[in-house]
Amino acid sequence: MIRVHPLRGIGLGLFKPYMPMYSDPGEKVVSLAHNMFIEVAAEMGVPALGVFILFLASCFFGLGRIRKLPSTPAMVKGAAGAMRAGVLGFSVASCFVSAEYQKTMWLGLAMVPCLILLSSYKPREVEHSQDDTLGLRTEIQPTDIRAKMQSTL
């Protein structure tokens, strides 16, 4: 399929129905590529495969950059590390399974730009009222919220 249609592929979602046409006569037809990268190249062409690989690589390396930024909050660094491991694991597993239509993969990859935004987030300073004993703070800790709730009860 890739050799016959290298630029545009056979069409999105058409690997399974077209597979019998590209197999040898009398051979048992396997309807899945069992390799996401081969299936992407067959369905959408080699240029689309290149864009897809670049997208996965940019997610992986972008998450690595987030972890190295000194201003990134610790929770965001941890999430970036976990997602980076997930992107790597998904990329390796994709060599053995066709999963380009899995919604969970796309949801996870859509969270990468969110983490990039969170890594550059700077808490703004909030001025409290005169009778507030906390004074000027950049963020409110959960213990502060609990103490305020208990004092109002």
Domain of residue 52: give its range. Answer: 15-119
4: in domain: no
Same domain, 105 and 41: yes
**Cross-strand pairs, 126:** 137
Same domain, 74 and 140: no
pLDDT at 76: 87
How many structural domains comprise the chain?
2
pLDDT at 85: 95
The parts of the chain modelled with pLDDT lower than 70 are 122-153
Do residues 83 and 56 touch, judged by C-beta distance below 8 A?
A: no
pLDDT at 148: 55
pLDDT at 140: 47
Do residues 66 and 80 touch, judged by C-beta distance below 8 A?
A: yes
pLDDT at 89: 92
User: Per the structure block, which two tokens stand in for 119?
Assistant: 């890594």
